[in-house]
Structure 1
């Protein structure tokens, strides 16, 4: 189908941030065909980072999370099917069947089904008061509990768990974080910065227990009362499970698309069926430099949504940008760009004790990632350094401007 062909029809399944950016870009770029946006939730697309940040902290409303005003979709001739999830994809007939029984025919299908929180296979995991954080409703419940100064136990010391811990301490709650690794965020940040975040939370009164294991959740059939560990039971009014997410690939698998820890797509986001694309958290996409990646971050959902639209429009744009994410915890604001791991060497530019610094990660003499902490308007400079050959001494030398490092 050529760009602007009024006979072409696009169906987007997932109604999240990637989906919203797909439909917006299509309309902005002059696509005149039918567009239908399908979502399992009753809400129009909204941004999820706020669920563990400003919405949870009570500084932003649910309405402020929405990507577009409610009337935007009708005004741009985008048909919506909210609270009516897709249940079947018939690729031979180019048709999607919804839970209501409605069938939608497509020329292009975009799967932006996201990810679902990983659950615990433990006694008591289904008790009332054991929660995950993925939806507005989840965050609303957490926010109410924080307002009551509930005793909160968080299982998992990843970004979601630590952001919720910060919000809970800000609300005056008693917070325990149980992390199975030796340090939280170790796999992402390595030992130096993982230790920094551990100290940050302990310094704000979080009982952070590393190398921790959980054997069960207690509640005697009623609301949760505690989390059982080998060292004893930790009292809890609420338990947040933050042990990662699983890409929601069930529709793709049933449709016979290639799936391996996400929906496999090429650098243009095409699946094994060239008229079916995948974008956002569910997509394991071929990055032009980094190979197959599945990235669960806000920036990636926006960019991949736009890229899916460009592919539909017949343009040969590719997945070539560096991953980016941000976090806000207590008085720490941070941006990260690139793709490093615990094996890379962290180089600190500035003084960790000051709370304002930059960190680079090096491998084989090349910059793999950069992070600015409470140091603003430099992330674009860090992005330009990714892949550059720079010595650790130069990176750490604050007398050399960032723009002169490479």
Structure 2
């Protein structure tokens, strides 16, 4: 007979990982609240839907054997230990894991013309399955190579530019940074990547979008230096912002065990904002790290319900990879504001250090070496 009820909000990597970590226990009841009308899917596979032959049903995310509600979480009352859902239903909990993820960052408010272009279906992100299907329809409906502008410089922007370029489309990459990806990968990797962008696509680095407008054939973009970019559509890859239910207005602050300031309430994945003495304030929004956070949050919840031992602190060690222009960019841990040091040797491997401690590693075509660092991070001094 279950003694406790653990409620999980969100069915992405963090939420499903948390549910999976708890599903086999007979001493707790687990409820997974999914966004109304949404079929859970593996977000890191949506590029195959957008640019490849992958059918949407192939990226469906298998759910563990727990109670699943298709009802969006609207507001959390941490005093009453209740969650209000979109249907009006209120659910009580003994432990709550908020894993509602993130939403794509849109154009700044001072960019003119966004509403008209959005209404015309000529601008959007590549964050959801719906986004991927829209991009696929646009690409296949033209009957010719598409002119695609991408605004951004991180992982999504790089992968999107690479995929479109390899498929024969005409790509313009607009990046606010002259070295796009420097925050995600560190300067050594990002500098190589910037050179690759410039050699393969129309790279407009160190530029911002000032105005966009609909044309008869697509969208006209004006940059901050008045130079024009003409495209069939514009892909926004400006990063993400946390998507938390009320009463939170953005990200949810967590400590080193993913606990919020409310008893028995935890946050994991793209919605969680971490505070660490060594790493400072950080947020990681990629699939593997979100899953690891979800599992850890479940373990902490069990510990604080008196059911398991303390899993200790959470530190980012998860791997990621991205194929860009035929090169495999990989990483583990956290780079952020850490100092980047290119290692000596034949492989292109970069250590990211904070106060002499290695907190992340990135590399190009060196997946094995990079991934070997995973469990050594945060404990190895350079």
Q: TM-score, normalised by structure 1?
A: 0.82
The one-character-per-residue Cα deviations of 1:175-220 (angstroms, maximum 9, x if unpaired) are: 10111111111233343322200122233x3111111121111116
Question: Which residue pairs with 2:168 in the alignment?
Answer: 172
- Give the distance between the partners of 1:389 and 1:269, measured in 2 at CA: 25
The one-character-per-residue Cα deviations of 1:357-383 (angstroms, maximum 9, x if unpaired) are: 323345665544322322343334323
Question: Which residue pairs with 2:351 in the alignment?
Answer: 360
- Give the distance between the partners of 1:307 and 1:23, measured in 2 at CA: 11
The one-character-per-residue Cα deviations of 1:323-362 (angstroms, maximum 9, x if unpaired) are: 53221223111221233346624314445xxxx6323345
Alignment partner of 1:208 out of 203, 209, 214? 203
Give 1:284 shift. 1.4
> Is the contact made by 1:327 and 1:335 (CA closer than 8 Å) also made in structure 2?
yes
Give 1:42 shift. 2.6
Question: Which residue pairs with 2:147 in the alignment?
Answer: 151
Alignment partner of 1:125 out of 96, 109, 114? 114
Q: Which moved more, 1:375-384 or 1:232-241?
A: 375-384
* Structure 1 counterpart SS, 2:373: helix
The one-character-per-residue Cα deviations of 1:206-252 (angstroms, maximum 9, x if unpaired) are: 111111121111116x8842111233321111111111211113424
> Is the contact made by 1:153 and 1:238 (CA closer than 8 Å) also made in structure 2?
yes
Query: Against the structure 1 CA distance between its residues 344 and 85, is the aligned structure 2 distance closer, same or farther, given a 3 Å change threshold?
Result: same
Question: Which residue pairs with 2:84 in the alignment?
Answer: 97
Question: Which residue pairs with 2:296 in the alignment?
Answer: 307
The one-character-per-residue Cα deviations of 1:251-279 (angstroms, maximum 9, x if unpaired) are: 2427xxxxxx6211122211111221111
Question: Which residue pairs with 1:226 in the alignment?
Answer: 220
Residue 25 in 1 paired to residue 12 in 2? no
> Is the contact made by 1:345 and 1:363 (CA closer than 8 Å) also made in structure 2?
no
Residue 56 in 1 paired to residue 47 in 2? no
Question: Which residue pairs with 1:107 in the alignment?
Answer: 94
> Is the contact made by 1:189 and 1:342 (CA closer than 8 Å) also made in structure 2?
no
- Structure 1 residue runs of 5 or longer lacking an equivalent are 255-260, 391-406
Residue 183 in 1 paired to residue 179 in 2? yes
Alignment partner of 1:374 out of 361, 365, 369? 365
> Is the contact made by 1:14 and 1:37 (CA closer than 8 Å) also made in structure 2?
yes
* Structure 2 counterpart SS, 1:313: helix
Output aligned runs, 1:281-296, within 5 Å: 281-287=270-276, 290-296=279-285
- Structure 2 residue runs of 5 or longer lacking an equivalent are 304-308
* Structure 1 counterpart SS, 2:196: helix
Query: Against the structure 1 CA distance between its residues 288 and 320, is the aligned structure 2 distance closer, same or farther, given a 3 Å change threshold?
Result: farther
- Give the distance between the partners of 2:182 and 2:235, measured in 1 at CA: 20
> Is the contact made by 1:89 and 1:97 (CA closer than 8 Å) also made in structure 2?
yes
Equivalent residues, number = 365
Output aligned runs, 1:233-272, within 5 Å: 233-253=228-248, 262-272=251-261
The one-character-per-residue Cα deviations of 1:12-45 (angstroms, maximum 9, x if unpaired) are: 11221100011111013x1443322222253333
> Is the contact made by 2:9 and 2:73 (CA closer than 8 Å) also made in structure 1?
yes
Alignment partner of 1:81 out of 69, 73, 81? 69
Residue 276 in 1 paired to residue 265 in 2? yes
- Give the distance between the partners of 1:343 and 1:303, measured in 2 at CA: 21
Q: TM-score, normalised by structure 2?
A: 0.86
The one-character-per-residue Cα deviations of 1:138-197 (angstroms, maximum 9, x if unpaired) are: 011112333343211111111111111111112211110111111111233343322200
> Is the contact made by 2:75 and 2:247 (CA closer than 8 Å) also made in structure 1?
no
